[in-house]
Amino acid sequence: MTFNKKINEIITLLSDLNILELNSLINEIRNQFQIPDIVSTIQTGNKTKPEANIIEQKESAEIKKSNFELILQTVPTEKRVAVLKAIRNTTSLDLKGAKDSIADLPKKLLDNLSLEEAEKAKTLLEEAGATVILA
């Protein structure tokens, strides 16, 4: 199958993502293009084989991973102050520590988090304008 250059670049980038990053990407694409979540609309008794595999893989990934790292990827210049406040609210860092944490990105901000804690911290930082991934 032949793809144009942009599609080849996208596929190359996607192949480097882990399952959590792919899940976040899928959710962002669904939100951006207003695509309904097929998995959530499937009735349990009406699963087709591919749909059942998707659900099983998602459940399996959640079971395997119990400790997460929060990695700060980017902070737009115009969102620096808001992100610094979010970092201070999410971590035990003081202002200097928060500034140091955004000086050299990407940087692991938190580790050994439960999925719930990681998602909460990720949401707070993303709302402030940062780009964050869970690993």
- Whether 60 and 77 share a structural domain: no
CATH number, position 92: 3.30.1390.10
- Whether 50 and 76 share a structural domain: no
The total of structural domains in the chain comes to 2
- Residue that terminates a domain, selected from 48, 64, 80: 64
- Whether 9 and 38 share a structural domain: yes
Nearest CA to 120 out of 81, 79, 78, 91 is that of: 91
Q: For residue 124, what pLDDT band results from cuts at 50, 70 and 90?
A: very high
Residue 130, domain extent: 68-134
pLDDT, position 18: 84
Q: Looking at residues 16-26, what average pLDDT do you find?
A: 82
Q: Looking at residues 35-42, what average pLDDT do you find?
A: 59
Across the chain, what does the average pLDDT equal?
A: 79
Q: Looking at residues 75-87, what average pLDDT do you find?
A: 92
Strand partners for 70: 110, 134
13 pLDDT above the threshold of 90: no
Q: For residue 48, what pLDDT band results from cuts at 50, 70 and 90?
A: very low
